[in-house]
Amino acid sequence: MIWRCRDVVHDLTDRVLVMGIVNVTPDSFSDGGRYLDPDAAVERAHRLLADGADLLDIGAESTRPGSAAVPPAEQWRRLAPVLARIRGDRPDAVLSVDTRSADVAERALGEGARVVNDVTALGEPAMAGVVARSGAGLVLMHMRGTPETMQRDTTYGDVTAEVASYLESRLAAAEAAGVRRECVALDPGIGFGKSAGGSLELLARISELSASGRPVLVGASRKSFLARLTGDDGPPEGRLAASLAAAAIAVWQGARILRVHDVAETVRAARVASAARRAAR
Ligand code: HH2
């Protein structure tokens, strides 16, 4: 299983990638405001790379439930200095830009980003062309509605079947618009328009999203459905143990990319889960 991200080709046949999160935002659900300052964001990026991140996902817009869209110009004002400095220090680092704006994605690709993480799965019509022209990796995620509206209706008949069929259709749309199939990864969008039970069910049934042969990315890190299960009512930073359990389940189920806040710990959890998966064959 190959995931092509411009000049970097990941062979994920027997490998799991850990994607470290850098939120250059004032309001992200777990670390809002901590890395809005470019110096803090760059330092965070270096820390995550040193901790073993295979790639970094850098975003300037929170998509937590209820959040409003951030204009592309403001996203770029936050991202530009951070991308430029990381690229200057570490041109080898694989950088992903977490944006639903084709304009922001195009600018980030111009600064050397190798992946576009689009939580709207090509909601902006111009996005597919931007990604296709660059040969970048593309993450297509399932979400119902927008971050502002997504938690209004979280009922599904069969959440896993609906998500799988949506992702198949977005993969087909991406290919029809010129994106190479081997550049695409699929993501069920844990917490995006799902109840806590729906998120848990998706996590438990990730293997059912693998029919297309594309790598599955899972973002369960610190999310609120974990706190519902553990009964913790503290801040999201306290959800490490629960997040590691979710990461191990995801890998055991065949996920190939883990989007996480706690990289050093997840690298170790993923190694154990990957080794167990190989031993079970
Ligand atoms: N989750 C978040 C943001 N982007 N992208 C993908 N592909 N999958 C996810 O599960 C996902 C995502 C939410 O996490 P975070 O970035 O920490 O929070 P916020 O959106 O509040 O910035």
Q: Report pLDDT for 155.
A: 92
Cα(135) to ligand 1 centroid in Å equals: 23
C-alpha gyration radius of the chain: 17
Residue-wise pLDDT for 94-111, tens only, equals: 999 999 999 999 999 999
- Does pLDDT of 185 surpass 90? yes
Residue to mutate, 259, 260, 262, 263, ligand 1, most ligand atoms under 8 Å from C-beta: 259
**Cα gap 193→79, rounded to integer Å:** 27
| Mean pLDDT on 194-219 | 97
Could you tell me if 154 and 203 are in contact, meaning their C-beta atoms sit under 8 angstroms apart? no
Q: 216: closest CA among 226, 205, 227?
A: 205
Q: Give 134's contacts (C-beta < 8 A, 6+ positions apart).
A: 6, 109
Residue 228 Cα to chain centre, angstroms: 22
Q: Determine whether 223 is an active site residue.
A: yes
CB of residue 120 inside a 6 A radius of ligand 1: no
- Does pLDDT of 208 surpass 90? yes
Q: Report pLDDT for 145.
A: 85
CB of residue 63 inside a 6 A radius of ligand 1: yes
Residue-wise pLDDT for 83-142, tens only, equals: 999 999 999 999 999 999 999 999 999 999 999 999 999 999 999 999 999 999 999 999
**Cα gap 211→226, rounded to integer Å:** 27
Cα(219) to ligand 1 centroid in Å equals: 7
- Does pLDDT of 8 surpass 90? yes
Instruction: Please report the beta strands in 29-162, taking only residues with DSSP state E, as ranges in sequence order.
Output: 55-59, 94-98, 115-118, 137-141
The full set of domains in the chain, from first to last, is 2-279 (3.20.20.20)
| Mean pLDDT on 184-189 | 98
At 212, which amino acid appears? S
User: pTM of whole model > 0.95?
Assistant: yes
